[in-house]
Chain A
Amino acid sequence: ILNVEQSPQSLHVQEGDSTNFTCSFPSSNFYALHWYRWETAKSPEALFVMTLNGDEKKKGRISATLNTKEGYSYLYIKGSQPEDSATYLCAFPYNNNDMRFGAGTRLTVKP
């Protein structure tokens, strides 16, 4: 059974705080690791697709790192804003086709 695990399950921070969460995935047969942002009542949208060990990606205040050898990725948000409130999903394509999602980290940023 392939598990993609995310922690924490939920997180409440104050506006301006920096935060990070974790995605762990099987370290064998690695193709890619995806991060998605899912706002309430909307569809998930891709943040990053990471393919190389040691990869670091950045989009504005959000960045992600990847360690394929130990099977984890971190997502960082610097100076959280209320509009960052969302569920952050990571996903791992097993065998290049069968996409497995973690249960997500639900972030709430209080003004």
Chain B
Amino acid sequence: EAQVTQNPRYLITVTGKKLTVTCSQNMNHEYMSWYRQDPGLGLRQIYYSMNVEVTDKGDVPEGYKVSRKEKRNFPLILESPSPNQTSLYFCASSLEGFTEAFFGQGTRLTVV
């Protein structure tokens, strides 16, 4: 089954404790991206990757890091999480940047 898998689904953590949210896709897609969703703001792009070892900043990259060492995986790293990073996060993949995106199940992160 074609899918994008994110883990964990829910995470509560403390300020400053490094965390990683994993994302994996099995569709051999070139393009992967991370979004955060906050009430009233819609989905905002954090980082995207056009291919292995190629990443670029989206709309709201501050406080986040990503890596793309393999085509299927695109982890999101928060080196020192802060309460303003409490949000719902989605990973997505697509064949190319302008084609249909397939979303993961979402990760609800709370930073206290």
Contacts and interface: CB of A to CB of B under 8 A. Distances in A.
Interface of A: 31-32, 34, 36, 43-46, 49, 89, 91, 93, 96-104
A101 B100 CA distance: 13
B106 interface: yes
A32 B95 CA distance: 14
Given A97-B50, A99-B33, A99-B48, A89 B100 contact: no
A29 to B, nearest CB: 11
A77 B93 CA distance: 27
Nearest to A87: B42
B45 A98 contact: yes
Contact of A96 (B42, B44, B98, B103): B98
Q: Is the interface of A mostly helix, strand, loop or mixed?
A: strand
Contact of A97 (B43, B97, B102, B104): B97
Given A43-B90, A49-B99, 12 more contacts: A31-B97, A44-B103, A89-B42, A91-B43, A96-B96, A96-B97, A96-B98, A98-B56, A98-B59, A100-B59, A102-B42, A103-B40
B43 A89 contact: yes
B109 to A, nearest CB: 16
B31 A97 contact: yes
B interface, size bucket: 20 to 34
Contacts of A49: 98-100
Contacts of B56: 97-98
A43 B35 CA distance: 12
A93 B95 CA distance: 13
A98 B46 CA distance: 10
B8 to A, nearest CB: 15
Contact of B101 (A46, A96, A102): A46
A32 B98 contact: yes
The 8 closest A-B pairs by CB, nearest first: A97-B97, A103-B42, A43-B103, A101-B43, A93-B98, A31-B98, A46-B100, A32-B98
